[in-house]
Amino acid sequence: MVAGLRDRLGGGLDVLVDTDVPVGAGLSSSAALTCSVALGLADLVAPELSRTDLVELARRSENDFVGAPTGILDQSASLLCTSGNALFLDTRERRTEQVPLDLAAVGLELLVVDTGTSHTHADGGYGDRRRECEQAAERLGVPALRDVADVAGLAALDDDVLLRRARHIVTENARVLEVVAVLRADADPAASAGC
């Protein structure tokens, strides 16, 4: 990210980070940090950059400098979601939709719980899982696992690991679409709790 704006900075930059978010707790802390720095840098030297531009800068900084093979999900959530909404993100089309999510109005709260289990994208299993999903899609002859309509379409996978990865993606995609449909219909979010 800094390299993308280096020419405009005209020199170095000192950044102080102070947080109580547990490192590696799975709260997208690295994306939140890179997005915060991107917002600050844009304010200083590149105010013409859109938030969508900053999503790409933040992703590139994690990919190119940290070595984490991430996509744009965490960065998009950090930079594009608005209060009172969930962000529905289509990473293929690079399209987003704000889907109303007012938990307080129906007496619900969102809890974030630190399980004490840490992970990292750069040297954890994330890259391996991503490659396995790409292998599963290739074996199934589809551009991506999102192109598999349902778990029945995974029958051709004879590798247990690839099957587990693919099943997770296919069922998660279906669950997300179901939840978004419930929220678009302005239904009670609790109705989608079983999704």
d(CA 73, CA 35): 12
d(CA 120, CA 131): 16
Mention every residue, 6+ apart, whose C-beta is less than 8 A from residue 174. Answer: 150
For residue 12, give the DSSP letter: -
Helix (H) or strand (E) holding 87: strand 85-90
d(CA 13, CA 54): 18
Active site residues: 74
Helix (H) or strand (E) holding 90: strand 85-90
How many CA within 13 A on the CB side of residue 112?
6
- Residue positions counted in the chain: 195
3-state secondary structure of 112: coil
